[in-house]
């Protein structure tokens, strides 16, 4: 499949999505959001893809936010719809994918860019990365899940400060607050993400899908995370991956998970 504003490369058992609007610092316009929705949907269906890495093109930005030029004239109703549709079709969709998604944050991750990175299952940053939710400086608030996911990751106080000041956090500070898992140089960013993706690929994709579901359940107000874990744990025992994983261990060999 070909896309207007993103590049998708599949190699071994991983896929790399590169948001490709470098002259606009990879800002998320409508067409890019549509491309991303379609790519994530297709890659999640593809059972040969065991992990997805998402990054921005160029050396300056992961994503500098939602494309301000597209929503500057929106009415309240249109803005409500933009946020609702975006959350449902991209941001929450990514968070709830059964295929792990790693954000390779290679520069500015602002507004919708940080919200996209936070919707991914975890984040790795290059040392030039700068992260923030500057929306209140534009007279608006984060609308793609930022007010919810940032406090989950860094705690309420730091999130409140970041949102209220509209300030940017550098990579080292983001690491110390748990917003990213690693900070490396730009040259080391992709190799590290590929290494992590390959480590993930050695494990049962079915079990990983259930684990994502169980972890996410704990962050939903209307779901009991412990009950969700019990349900998912039980389901694992009915899978071919579980048979293979346990047999391989007992036979002292490396597991070859069928992914079913």
Instruction: Kindly state whether residue 108 participates in binding ligand COA, applying the rule CB under 6 A.
Output: yes
How do 51-56 and 101-105 pair as beta strands? parallel
Query: Which residue among 135, 161, 188, 229 is the active-site one?
Result: 135
Find the part of the chain contacting ligand COA (CB under 6 A) among 11-19, 130-138, 170-178, 235-243: 130-138
By CB under 6 A, name the one of 110, 206, 211, 228 that touches ligand COA.
110
CB of 36 to ligand COA, least distance (A): 15
Q: How far apart are CA 214 and CA 228, in angstroms?
A: 6
Find the part of the chain contacting ligand COA (CB under 6 A) among 20-28, 31-39, 74-82, 92-100: 20-28
According to DSSP H, which parts of 92-204 are helical?
92-95, 112-119, 146-154, 156-165, 171-176, 186-201
Would you give the binding string for ligand COA spanning residues 133-172, x where CB under 6 A is met? -xx--x----------------------------------
DSSP lists the bridge partners of residue 131 as 109, 169
Other C-beta atoms closer than 10 Å to the C-beta of 100 total 24
Would you give the binding string for ligand COA spanning residues 41-70, x where CB under 6 A is met? -----------------------xxxxxx-
CB of 45 to ligand COA, least distance (A): 30
Query: Which residue among 4, 115, 188, 240 is the active-site one?
Result: 115
CB of 166 to ligand COA, least distance (A): 8
Handedness of CA 254, 206, 200, 194 (dihedral sign): positive
Report how many residues bind ligand COA under the rule CB under 6 A. 16
Structure tokens at 164: 């209220």
Residue 115 among the catalytic residues: yes
Contact 17, 51 (CB under 8 A): no
CB of 231 to ligand COA, least distance (A): 38
Q: How far apart are CA 74 and CA 83, in angstroms?
A: 12
CB of 158 to ligand COA, least distance (A): 19
Contact 84, 47 (CB under 8 A): no
How do 14-19 and 182-184 pair as beta strands? unpaired
Residue 240 among the catalytic residues: no
Name the residue nearer to ligand COA (CB basis): 71 or 242.
Answer: 71
Name the residue nearer to ligand COA (CB basis): 104 or 196.
Answer: 104
Q: Can you list the positions of beta strands (E) in the chain?
A: 6-11, 14-19, 51-56, 61-63, 101-105, 108-110, 122-126, 130-132, 168-170, 182-184
What are the catalytic residues? 115, 135
Report the interface residues with ligand COA, using CB under 6 A: 24-25, 27, 64-69, 108, 110-112, 134-135, 138
């Amino acid at each position: 499949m070909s896309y207007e504003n993103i590049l998708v490369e599949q190699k071994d058992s991983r896929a790399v999505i590169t948001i490709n609007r470098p002259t606009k610092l990879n800002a998320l316009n409508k067409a890019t959001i549509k491309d991303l929705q379609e790519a994530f949907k297709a890659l999640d269906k593809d059972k040969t893809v065991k992990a997805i890495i998402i990054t921005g093109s160029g050396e300056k930005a992961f994503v500098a936010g939602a494309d301000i030029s597209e929503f500057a004239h929106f009415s309240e109703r249109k803005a409500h719809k933009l946020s609702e549709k975006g959350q449902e079709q991209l941001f929450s969709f990514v968070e709830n994918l059964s295929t792990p998604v790693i954000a390779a944050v290679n520069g500015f991750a602002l507004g919708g860019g940080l919200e996209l990175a936070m919707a991914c299952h975890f984040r790795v940053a290059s040392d030039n990365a700068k992260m923030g939710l500057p929306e209140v400086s534009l007279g608006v608030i984060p609308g793609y899940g930022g007010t919810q996911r940032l406090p989950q990751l860094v705690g309420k106080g730091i999130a409140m400060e970041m949102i209220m000041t509209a300030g940017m956090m550098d990579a080292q500070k983001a690491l110390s607050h748990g917003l990213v898992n690693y900070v490396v140089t730009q040259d080391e960013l992709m190799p590290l993400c590929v290494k992590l993706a390959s480590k993930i690929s050695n494990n049962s994709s079915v079990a990983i899908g259930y684990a994502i579901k169980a972890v996410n359940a704990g962050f939903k107000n209307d779901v009991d995370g412990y009950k969700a874990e019990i349900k998912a744990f039980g389901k694992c025992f009915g899978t071919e991956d579980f048979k293979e994983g346990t047999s391989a261990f007992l036979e002292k060999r490396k597991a070859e998970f069928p992914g079913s």
